[in-house]
A and B are shown apart, each in its own frame.
Chain A
Amino acid sequence: MEMIATNRGRALRAATAIALLALAGCSGNGSEGGSAYAELRRAATGFIDRRGDATQGVTLSDAELNAAPVDVMLLDIPEFGSEVGLVQQAVNRDVVTWVTPEGYSVSLKQGQIVGTAGFGFDLSSADIPRLETTGGRVVRDHYRLQGDETIERFRYFCELSRPVGEQVVVTGRRFDTVRVDEACTDGQGETFTNRYWVDTRGVMRKSRQFVSPRLGYFELQDVHGGLR
């Protein structure tokens, strides 16, 4: 074909080809083109679309949240300045998994984060200390997937503070709690401090917990725990 039509319509053919590239093809299983390039382009487009509307927070009022038909957990990720509402996805023995509307999950054991999934730079799993003790030294292990696909253990040596009484406000409601601080270090310069507020029902009403260096802290507020 190229030999026959050397002069005629070369520009036209180039234009057609570009148009075809833009269409990126179609297929019988409904997906938009299965090629690696198409996939990468979709990801890039998605990224561009997401920029520029970074100013929203939770838009429901406190009253609306309190009256929500299902249990809600509020998650704030200060590192990104984003806030989102979580609902329960599953209960496995003593671990409750909560999900964002996007489907990202945060798993909690007695209120402490033992895993996240979907955010990237996630916490794969964790061995967490008991908080009941009145202060003292504890050990905490975090397991995270590394760039080389191995799961590495990060061991932190932590100091629990003596509990102090403190009032916290969650969605407009005031709770009497005890606050426990957990100051951790890996012994090589990485430090963080988790903070937990546990109310008189034993519910972790509010917390700030370190997840991974890239995700930073997750701040959780339990809207309904023990209130239904």
Chain B
Amino acid sequence: MYPKVRLARHLRIATSSAAIALVAGTAQADFDRPDFNFYGMTGAIDTPTALSQPDGEIAVTVGYFGNVTRGTLAFQGLPAVQGAFRYTKYSGLNLLNEPRYEDYFDRSFDISVRLLNERRFVPALKIGLQDFAGTGVSSGEYLVATKTFGDRLAISAGLGWGRLGSFEPIGETGERGPIDAGEGGDFNADQWFRGDVAPFGSVIYRATDDLTLMAEYSSDAYTLETGNERPASSRILERESSFSFGAAYHINEAVSLGGYYLYGSEFGLRLTFSGNPYRPPVEGSVGPAPAPVAERPSRATSPDRWSQDWAAVPRVQSALLTALADEAGEAGLTVEAFEVLGPDAVEVRFRNPSYGATAQAVGRMARALTRTMPSSVETFRIVPSVDGIPASAVTIRRSDVEALVAAPNAAAQLRAVTGIGNARGPNPGATLNSEVFPRFDWSVGPFVRRIFFDPAAPLRLGVGVRARASYEPRPGLVFSGSVSRILAGNLDDTARDSNSALPPVRTNFPRYNEESDIAIDRLTTAYYFKPAPELYARVTAGYLERMFGGLSTELLWKPVGSRLALGAELNYVAQRDFDQTFGFQDYDVATGHVSAYYDVTDEFNVQLDVGRYLAGDVGATLTLTREFTNGWEVGVFATQTDVSSEDFGEGSFDKGINIRIPVGWFTGRPSGSAFGTTIRPITRDGGARLNVDGRLYDKIRDYHAEGLDAQWGRVWR
């Protein structure tokens, strides 16, 4: 048998090449995945088209020509809707006419909506807003129609306003006054589709499956960049012609590169990375198969094996717990507590550090139970626990597991006979796993801190080392802390004192970066518990986050099968000293929110928080999140409070984007980790929330019906 170890290696090559083959596969029929333009939106060269990306497509595009660099994150959030966030650098524009700010950086948001799908004699029609909420430097609106001819040719024609109506307009619609940028960031709705209107158009020809040729007539005069708009600004590009030409090449499934000759004078390059949550590198997962389901002996031939007498044996509960904990440990699960409910039923509480697909963890636990429980045990009550809170109770009959493990359509069949209900709160009859509790855990590792969009440097980074430890004497009671020290980077060059009209609850972040040596990131006592059947609760006290410490309490109502959840959070916190040791400043505030969460569909979640924010301002935050079954999330949020735009400062109100990508999506292997980040165009003090660890909603609902069902297809895996 031994030489097979080498064979196995061979097989691994096979599976990883399967993954790579998928990434590298290039054949793309027709215009299913059209190219991106310099704005990082679906389009030709510098103008949009009415073509659309596949639903869920996420793309990062970097384009450069004529001293203008645009970096864009675009997301096809609905089959007909594409949104984008862009960061643009105008090198040497001198727009502000201030030393140190020769380059001008601008942030902008776009949105486009396809109004008509293409039909045989009708082109697709799309309406779009470009830079609709920024300082308006790139603002433009458009209507564009695209007709494809076969799978090779697409012709587009459109009308543009604003920037896209600036060259040789053919008419005008109302008055487009100068943009009153104010603090920027507000919607410029009174400008949209006003003023000069000019035509643009493009021809796209797919010479091969991987090579696309493009020609375009643009209605953008580049007034600002050619130095003709604001007297102080410099001329950074030449515009000799309205025609641009280019070619785009799909290097592989994920990367496309474009080279262009624009406006009769400028050469440009564009690089786009695109991916889709529903186009993973590996479908299903790579890695060892689960331990098999153990079949019970026949009751007729081995009646003694079906005896129920074992349940009366002293200490049998802890003996079974040990056996189950070993078996579950092999499967990557941690048994928290175990209880014999009777000779025919048992309940296990466990934690899942290994699987992003929660149904997979439940399936592995069911398998472990078949391998360890006496034959007379027929009912498995499987209770996933999150930080000591029992999140739900999944009830599965052992006979069903045995009957369905190799059945056709086994996952759906098992789901039909599985009950998902509320878990009990306390379980006084259970035996706690003494191998695990009291639990002590620690780690030391590097970390990276990022600051985006500083006017003088778009990305600031600090690398450092962080040590963490936690102690959990019994499930739900957690003492934990984290200390860190930044070792290198350019976080300390910002030196901007807060100019906020509000209490500087966030805008002093440069001082937190500069004035700390060894910083206590967090030092808290937390208690998580389940006070009633549909209620979950948290109390956290201590140094809650880098800038605030105090007391935080939260209560969540979420029935297991409900799309609606309601929550309340009350905090009393004081602002910490800049050195992030034990001291406080003399600013304190009672802050808190009531929240409603609703799963509109399986793929959309809405959250509304109403309450008082850190600076004492009162208002609401609306978050809309596109959720993919495999754990990808792309969300947008905006907060409006009783703070005026002037008092809020640059950006006018708080808004941003949340992104979460599970690690297992990339590797094809089970993993509970994810990359997550929140991108804000700017950090101000209005609409700021406490950054406390352990908020309940996202923890709990992965184990409720919709969370388990999202990846139920992996229950046997």
Which residues of chain B in 487-522 are interfacial with respect to chain A, using CB atoms and an 8 Å cutoff? 487-489, 491-492, 513-517
Interface: B1 (CB within 8 A): yes
A145 to B18, CA, bound (A): 16
Question: What residues of chain A lie closer than 8 Å to B630, measured between beta carbons?
Answer: 147-149
Interface: A144 (CB within 8 A): yes
Which of A49-57, A163-171, A191-199, A202-210 lies at the interface with chain B?
A49-57
B interface residue numbers (CB < 8 A to A): 1, 3-19, 21-22, 276-280, 282-290, 292-295, 357, 402, 405-412, 440-446, 463-465, 469, 485-489, 491-492, 513-517, 628-630, 663, 666-669, 671, 673-675, 710-711, 713-714, 716-717
Question: What residues of chain B lie closer than 8 Å to A26, measured between beta carbons?
Answer: 443-445
Question: What residues of chain A lie closer than 8 Å to B412, measured between beta carbons?
Answer: 151
Q: Which residue of A lies closest to B676 (CB)?
A: A36
List 10 additional contacts besides A28-B441, A57-B7, A125-B716; criterion CB under 8 Å: A2-B513, A3-B492, A14-B488, A50-B16, A91-B295, A92-B292, A92-B402, A101-B4, A102-B11, A117-B289
Q: Which residue of B lies closest to A3 (CB)?
A: B514
A104 to B716, CA, bound (A): 14
Question: A33 contacts B666, CB within 8 Å?
Answer: no
* Interchain residue pairs with CB less than 8 A apart (12): A3-B514, A10-B488, A13-B487, A17-B463, A17-B464, A17-B487, A51-B13, A85-B7, A92-B293, A92-B406, A114-B408, A119-B14
Interface: A1 (CB within 8 A): yes
Question: A120 contacts B283, CB within 8 Å?
Answer: yes
B280 to chain A minimum Cβ distance, whole angstroms, is: 5
Q: How large is the interface on A (under 10, 10 to 19, 20 to 34, 35 or more residues)?
A: 35 or more
Contact partner of A125 (CB less than 8 A), chosen from B15, B277, B408, B445, is B408
Interface: A143 (CB within 8 A): yes
Which residues of chain A in 5-39 are interfacial with respect to chain B, using CB atoms and an 8 Å cutoff? 6, 10, 13-14, 16-18, 20-21, 23-29, 33-39
Question: What residues of chain A lie closer than 8 Å to B410, measured between beta carbons?
Answer: 124-125, 143
Question: B22 contacts A24, CB within 8 Å?
Answer: no
Question: What residues of chain A lie closer than 8 Å to B487, measured between beta carbons?
Answer: 13-14, 16-17, 20
- Known contacts A118-B289, A214-B22; decide if A36 and B463 are in contact (CB<8 Å): no
Interface: A177 (CB within 8 A): no
Question: A28 contacts B440, CB within 8 Å?
Answer: yes
A60 to B441, CA, bound (A): 46
Interface: A153 (CB within 8 A): yes
Question: What residues of chain A lie closer than 8 Å to B513, measured between beta carbons?
Answer: 2
Question: What residues of chain A lie closer than 8 Å to B516, measured between beta carbons?
Answer: 1
Contact partner of B13 (CB less than 8 A), chosen from A82, A141, A150, is A82
Question: What residues of chain B lie closer than 8 Å to A97, measured between beta carbons?
Answer: 289, 292, 406
Question: B295 contacts A214, CB within 8 Å?
Answer: no
Give the most central of A20, A144, A147: most B CB within 10 Å.
A147
Question: B1 contacts A87, CB within 8 Å?
Answer: yes
Question: B673 contacts A122, CB within 8 Å?
Answer: no
Q: How many A-B residue pairs have CB under 8 A?
A: 267
Interface: A103 (CB within 8 A): yes
A29 to B675, CA, bound (A): 21
A187 to chain B minimum Cβ distance, whole angstroms, is: 19
A151 to chain B minimum Cβ distance, whole angstroms, is: 4
Question: What residues of chain A lie closer than 8 Å to B10, measured between beta carbons?
Answer: 53-54, 56-57, 82-84
Question: What residues of chain A lie closer than 8 Å to B517, measured between beta carbons?
Answer: 1
Identify whether the interface residues of B are mostly helix, strand, loop, or mixed: mixed
Question: B288 contacts A144, CB within 8 Å?
Answer: no
- Known contacts A13-B487, A92-B295, A102-B288; decide if A77 and B14 are in contact (CB<8 Å): yes
A75 to B280, CA, bound (A): 26
Contact partner of A17 (CB less than 8 A), chosen from B290, B446, B628, B629, is B446
Question: What residues of chain A lie closer than 8 Å to B711, measured between beta carbons?
Answer: 149
- Known contacts A82-B13, A102-B11; decide if A121 and B4 are in contact (CB<8 Å): no
A28 to chain B minimum Cβ distance, whole angstroms, is: 4
- Known contacts A50-B9, A148-B630; decide if A90 and B488 are in contact (CB<8 Å): no
Interface: A126 (CB within 8 A): yes
Question: What residues of chain A lie closer than 8 Å to B444, measured between beta carbons?
Answer: 25-27
A125 to B713, CA, bound (A): 11
A114 to B406, CA, bound (A): 7
Question: What residues of chain B lie closer than 8 Å to A29, measured between beta carbons?
Answer: 441
Question: What residues of chain B lie closer than 8 Å to A228, measured between beta carbons?
Answer: none
A126 to chain B minimum Cβ distance, whole angstroms, is: 6
A115 to chain B minimum Cβ distance, whole angstroms, is: 6
Question: What residues of chain A lie closer than 8 Å to B295, measured between beta carbons?
Answer: 91-93
Interface: A105 (CB within 8 A): yes
- Known contacts A2-B514, A33-B443, A214-B22; decide if A124 and B411 are in contact (CB<8 Å): yes
Question: A124 contacts B463, CB within 8 Å?
Answer: no
Question: What residues of chain B lie closer than 8 Å to A100, measured between beta carbons?
Answer: 4, 7-8, 11
Question: A115 contacts B406, CB within 8 Å?
Answer: yes
